[in-house]
Chain A
């Protein structure tokens, strides 16, 4: 009976294979992040040293973009599979308000600076929520093709609205945040009045009207990697994305692209630990956080990607790029040369107005 034997054999193998495979998976944790060059920098700076030190296997899940929705669903289903999640500050606030992230006591659960400064002082103002452990300061800014702008390199963010001087497509993120602010600034609103104007319905219409002038020339992106690809293809003449992605395009991939730091928008990114983990998993997550956000580790990450470490004590330790050997400091969004004209992203404003403006923005997009 060849066939039955074969079937039985297949069945046994089928059932035993995952059991054997599962053996070595007990001591592992799932860390959620953004993927791409950013995840790679975390892998090098945090995950690999941590695995080496503790023997814990770290699984990467590149789902940070849907972190809020997924954590809600997991919580509802009573099956949270994530141990540590990398989110932007605004998402951390939402998760904290909804009770989906656990609160952290910075001074007791995070490492102090080498000179003994407690973590709460070392992070300072960047601890924007009880659940949020800041990791990096990044900025959303523009890159442009040096070969497509000719001798007329843009110096102002308003170049995106100037289709005469810079013909061609530009890429913008498919959401109102940042775009509305830039539109108002270029429509003549003073920087410190932007959010006052944006509170009113007329102000929102004004921003959309400004964006409308370039609507036909915009390619909307939703993933951080879109603009680098579009720039590399020469499909857009300029586009917004995270400054670390542009660093990678310019310095690592050697594409003919340059940074336009004007009116860059600062934002924070960091860790949260989901609420409701088993005590044993929670302890491991806290141990990881304590390790990964200490002064040296945060400075180490800056060797791989041009995001500024969130600790004041890490800044002097930022050195050179791990592979290229170039100084990283001039590529940081916080470098004085780059931060001549920055724009401060207002969390409270967007927490209050995001749903309304989102709806308006999407309706405008669909028109």
Chain B
């Protein structure tokens, strides 16, 4: 994009307070991490202000200022804390010299419309900063877990070796523990058994319910819908308590009257409980896709002699499939992530991965949890990427362009 507005250098009365504020904000984090927030704010503001004064009055040469800053900051970082801090220092140095010049030269104005007021310019950038901050706060907790999972020690701590990027500080032993420890393997297997079956039941029942509830002649549609959605709205702990007693009775009957195996009954109970939790998601997504479904297609199919079942599978199902699949994904994730209900309804034989992670966190704080979390994040990303790719492919095949 070409420059829209001619730019000019800005007065120091604008530049200095702004860069000082930015430096203070950055200093707040560094200072808090090292024991004193206010001290960090002061030092950060002072340092960045000094940088600005030196650039503008002494160096007056941008490329030179850039390389000097990066080099100096990198050296300071290296002296204070090794290679990791050297990288951080260089990055911070690069950022602040860029920010100061960007502001001083008035480049921030270049790509904006000439008639914007200063307030609108401020909001333009403020909005982007807020969005970026939200993104950072959402994603950092997930990212922090990943390096910690390679910790060579049995604690959730960034050790000095890790911060120096010393290979000694890293190890794969927590991954090894996950793949060799019976408890983790059993719970992983249980999750892989329970989640797909629960998803299958939720998707079948939820889709049928959504189709039924979208027919105009069904009485009490809203009331039925409200009841079916209720597991999503009622606090989980309450559902779980109720389910515990309800499924205990069912389980006792299955074992007593039908003579079924105890652990098999345990699986039935957990699967049913998870299916109940997953159904609302399927109903909501499928109902949403059904809104866009053209009813005359079913009549056309009937007109050509297709029975209701054939019509459903060959006409309606393919068209509402995106809704069914995303509902199924939600149901799967619900079951795969669920810890409260399974703690109540399941017994040790049905221990799922989240249950194992939960007890692990409470009783032993083992970084194996972080290793598992990292694996799960990778699986989730792969799963979502696959679904998205399949969606694009099918749209391409149907001659639609991806939106």
Q: Is the CB of B200 within 8 A of A77?
A: no
Q: Do A253 and B364 have beta carbons less than 8 Å apart?
A: no
Provide the residues of chain B in CB contact with A32, threshold 8 Å.
Answer: 348
Q: Mark interface residues in A6-45 (1 if CB within 8 Å of B CB, else 0).
A: 0000110011011101100110101010111101000000
Stretch of A56-64, A94-102, A297-305, A322-330 that contacts chain B: A56-64
Q: How far is the CA of A39 from the CA of B356 in the complex (A)?
A: 14
Partner of B197, one of A3, A18, A62: A18
Asked if B362 contacts A77 (CB within 8 A), the reply is no
User: In this assembly, does A223 line the interface, its C-beta being within 8 Å of a C-beta of chain B?
Assistant: yes
Interface-located stretch among B21-29, B73-81, B151-159, B388-396:
B151-159
Instruction: Give complex CA distance A10, B200 in Å.
Output: 8
Contacts of B365 in A (CB 8 A): 223, 225-226, 228-229
* Contact call A61/B348, Cβ cutoff below 8 A: yes
A233 vs B154: C-alpha distance when bound (angstroms): 11
Judge if B244 is at the interface, Cβ distance under 8 Å: yes
Which chain A residue has the least Cβ–Cβ distance from B364?
A36
CA A82 to CA B347, docked complex, whole Å: 8
A131 and B268 CA atoms in complex are apart in Å by 33
Residues of A within 8 A of B364 (CB): 35-37, 225
With A18-B197, A26-B261 given, name 14 new contacts (CB 8 A).
A14-B197, A14-B200, A18-B267, A22-B263, A22-B267, A61-B348, A63-B359, A65-B362, A79-B248, A81-B347, A82-B348, A225-B363, A225-B364, A253-B155
Chain A interface size, under 10 / 10 to 19 / 20 to 34 / 35 or more: 35 or more
A36 to B318, CA, bound (A): 50
Chain A residues packing against B (C-beta within 8 Å): 1, 3-4, 10-11, 14-15, 17-19, 21-22, 25-26, 28, 30, 32, 34-37, 39, 59-63, 65, 73, 76-79, 81-82, 223-226, 228-229, 232-233, 253, 255
Return 8 A-B CB contacts under 8 Å, by A number.
A14-B200, A30-B348, A61-B348, A82-B348, A226-B365, A229-B156, A233-B156, A253-B153
Q: Contacts A28-B349, A253-B153: A223 and B362 contacting too (C-beta < 8 A)?
A: yes
Complex interface bits, B306-324 against A, C-beta within 8 A gives 1, otherwise 0 = 0000000100011000000
A313 CB, min distance to chain B CBs, angstroms: 31
Q: A25 touching B263 by the CB < 8 A rule?
A: yes
Q: Of residues B200, B266, B362, which shows the largest number of chain A Cβ atoms within 10 Å of its Cβ?
A: B362
Taken residue by residue from 330 to 369, chain B's Cβ proximity to chain A (1 for < 8 Å, 0 otherwise) reads as: 0000000000000000011101000000011011110000
| B157 A77 Cβ-Cβ under 8 A | no
For the complex formed, measure the closest distance between the CB of A252 and the CB atoms of chain B, giving whole angstroms: 8
Q: Which residues of A contact B186 (CB under 8 A)?
A: 59
Q: Is the CB of B362 within 8 A of A30?
A: no
For residue B193, CB closer than 8 A to chain A, the reply is yes
Q: Are A34 and B193 in contact, CB atoms less than 8 angstroms apart? A: no
Is B196 close to A, CB under 8 A?
A: yes
In chain B, residues 185-215, which have Cβ atoms closer than 8 Å to a Cβ of chain A?
186, 193, 196-197, 200-201
Min Cβ gap B183→A in Å is 6
Note all chain A residues with C-beta closer than 8 A to B362.
Answer: 35, 65, 223, 225
Q: A11-B200, A21-B193, A35-B360 are in contact. Are A59 and B248 (CB under 8 A)?
A: no
> CB-CB < 8 A to B348: which residues of A?
30, 32, 59-61, 81-82
Q: How distant is A256 from chain B, measured CB to nearest CB, in Å?
A: 12
**CB-CB < 8 A to A34: which residues of B?**
363
CB-CB under 8 A for A1 and B156, given A22-B261, A62-B359, A225-B364: no
A77 to B242, CA, bound (A): 11
Shortest distance in angstroms between A209's beta carbon and chain B's nearest beta carbon?
A: 30
Nearest CB of B to A290, in Å = 22
What chain B residues lie within 8 Å of A15 (beta carbons)?
197
What is the CB-to-nearest-CB distance from B365 to chain A, in angstroms, rounded to a whole number?
Answer: 4
Chain B residue at smallest Cβ distance from A224: B363
CA distance A15 to B193 in the complex (A): 10
Distance in angstroms from A323 CB to nearest chain B CB is: 14
CA distance A111 to B155 in the complex (A): 39
User: Which residues of the other chain, A, contact B263 by a CB distance below 8 angstroms?
Assistant: 22, 25-26, 28
**In this assembly, does B264 line the interface, its C-beta being within 8 Å of a C-beta of chain A?**
yes
Q: Tell me if A3 and B155 are in contact (CB < 8 A).
A: no
Q: Is the CB of B249 within 8 A of A30?
A: no
Cβ–Cβ < 8 Å partners of A65 in chain B: 362-363
- Known: A18-B193, A18-B267. Contact between A35 and B155, CB under 8 A? no
Are B153 and A78 in contact, CB atoms less than 8 angstroms apart? no
Interface membership of chain B positions 239-257, coded 1 if the CB is closer than 8 angstroms to chain A and 0 otherwise = 0000011001101100000
Q: Are A30 and B347 within 8 A (Cβ)?
A: yes
| Of the residues A21, A82, A233, contact of B157 by C-beta under 8 Å | A233
B193: chain A residues at CB < 8 Å are 17-18, 21
In the bound complex, CA of A22 to CA of B347 (Å): 14
Minimum distance in angstroms from B35 CB to a CB of chain A: 12
Query: Smallest CB–CB gap between B32 and chain A, Å?
Result: 14
Contact A232 B157 (CB under 8 A): yes
Contacts of A1 in B (CB 8 A): 313
CB distance from B235 to the nearest CB of A (A): 18
